[in-house]
A and B are shown apart, each in its own frame.
Chain A
Amino acid sequence: MLMYATLFASGLICIALALNAWRLIIGPTAPDRIIAVDTMYINSIALIILLGLYQGSVSYYESALLIALLGFVSTAAFCKYLLRGDIIE
């Protein structure tokens, strides 16, 4: 049962990632595209945790934590670029 639940949840998150990619392609303005990338980071964290559950391995947290850190930093850098035209002034 746990295997089927994990596969079902992975399918739902893959659909969510496809919707985010669609918004990333058609997004009318640049902030829309940044939201899409930010949501894709969060969805990929969930997908990596599900991979760890499926394989029964505990060695995926570090990569999920790394993706969370770099996702926040890249979102902040993109927003800073839109706000000021420069990242490090």
Chain B
Amino acid sequence: MTSLLEVIVSVLLVLGATIMLIGSIGLAKLPDFFTRLHAPTKASTLGVGCILIASMVYFSVELGRLSLKEILITMFLLITAPIAAHMLAKAGLHYKVKLKANTQKQHLSEKAYLHQNPDDQ
């Protein structure tokens, strides 16, 4: 095993773990439901992508043949993460979570709620 491979895989691993930690810090610290939704959905897919690419590179060199199984997980996460985030935002809108007081254009959330549930005028 060459040392260049070790450097590449280590940098990718540390980068991915740092991005995931940043996403989780955003989830824990941000003040509002929708800001909390935005932090982990972006950071987590990128972090998992970095870690899966690192695993793919390592096992491709280690086994001596191309190992592309991780692409499956990456593609699945890339496809389903926006759908899950959309459903979560819709559930939060339905649940009428409190926005932070200095959020601009708060009347739009009322309008969106009425658009979603036209019966509750």
Contact = CB atoms under 8 A, between A and B. Distances in A.
Contacts of B69: 58, 61
A32 interface: yes
Contact of B84 (A16, A30, A38): A38
B76 A68 contact: yes
B76 A34 contact: no
Contacts, number: 155
The number of chain A residues touching the other chain, given as a range, is 35 or more
Interface string A54-89: 001010010011001100100110111011000000
The number of chain B residues touching the other chain, given as a range, is 35 or more
Interface of A: 1-2, 4-6, 8-10, 12-13, 15-17, 19-20, 22-23, 29-32, 34-36, 38-39, 42-43, 45-46, 49-50, 52-53, 56, 58, 61, 64-65, 68-69, 72, 75-76, 78-80, 82-83
A2 B9 contact: yes
A22 B62 CA distance: 38
Given A9-B13, A9-B17, A43 B95 contact: no
Contacts of B6: 1-2
Contact of B76 (A1, A22, A69): A69
Contacts of A39: 23-24, 27, 40, 44
Contacts of B23: 16, 39
B76 A6 contact: no
B108 to A, nearest CB: 18
Candidate in B7, B24, B27, B90 with the most chain A CB atoms within 10 angstroms: B24
Given A22-B28, A46-B48, A83 B62 contact: no
